[in-house]
Structure 1
Amino acid sequence: MILTIVHVADFDQFLRTFSTKGVEKRKEHGCEGSWVFRDPDDPGRVWALFDWSAEDYEGFLADPEIPAIAAELGVQGPVVKVESIAAYGS
């Protein structure tokens, strides 16, 4: 699982692109699923959780089409990948 945090210019535009072009590109790079959460204290901050291996995620980031998709998402500033420090059973 990979968790990222990003600021976006327009949440609705972000969601449209994330759920179309974004999902196609993530599947191409082995992503098994994703969940989007809007920060209740900052409507421009989005938390995205991905069912993705670190290796496939890195391949996704290296894809030359990603900068254009990120621009269409309205990403402002860098995407922050949250580091996991522990995993627990359910």
Structure 2
Amino acid sequence: MILATTKVKDLDHFLEVFSTKGADKRGSHGSQGATVYRDPIEEDRVWAVFNWDEEGWTAFATDPETPGIMQEAGHLGRPSLGQYLGSFDA
């Protein structure tokens, strides 16, 4: 799993691109899907939890087509990744 956060220009437009072109590109690099949340304090910030491994994320991040898709989606900067600390039972 990978947790990422980013700020976007327009949430609806971001979700449209994220769920189509972005999904196709992520899938081509092994992503098994994503769950997206809107930040409760910063309305222009989204959080995504990806069912993805580090190798696939790195391949996606270095794909030459990725910056154009992210620009089209309206990212206001590069996504930041959360640092994985562990998994815990209930």
TM-score, normalization by structure 2: 0.96
Question: How many residues align structurally?
Answer: 90
Q: Give the aligned partner of residue 67 of structure 1.
A: 67
- Tell me which protein shows more strand as a share of its residues: 1
Measured against aligned partners, the alpha-carbon deviations of 1:4-60 in whole angstroms (never above 9, x if no partner) come to 000001001100000000110011000011010001111100001100010111001
- Residue type matched to 1:78 in 2? R
- Residue type matched to 1:10 in 2? D
Deviation at 1:89, TM superposition (A): 3.3
**Structure 1 unmatched ranges of 5 or more:** none
CA distance in 1, matches of 2:5, 2:73: 13
- Residue type matched to 1:68 in 2? G
Q: Give the aligned partner of residue 31 of structure 1.
A: 31
CA distance in 1, matches of 2:82, 2:61: 15
Deviation at 1:86, TM superposition (A): 1.2
CA distance in 1, matches of 2:63, 2:17: 17
Q: Give the aligned partner of residue 51 of structure 1.
A: 51
- Residue type matched to 1:85 in 2? L
| Pairwise CA RMSD | 0.9
CA distance in 1, matches of 2:56, 2:71: 21
TM-score, normalization by structure 1: 0.96
Q: Does 1:5 align with 2:44?
A: no
CA distance in 2, matches of 1:55, 1:75: 22
Query: Runs of 4+ in structure 1 displaced over 6 angstroms?
Result: none
Give the fraction of aligned pairs with identical amino acids, expressed as a percent. 42
CA distance in 1, matches of 2:51, 2:73: 20
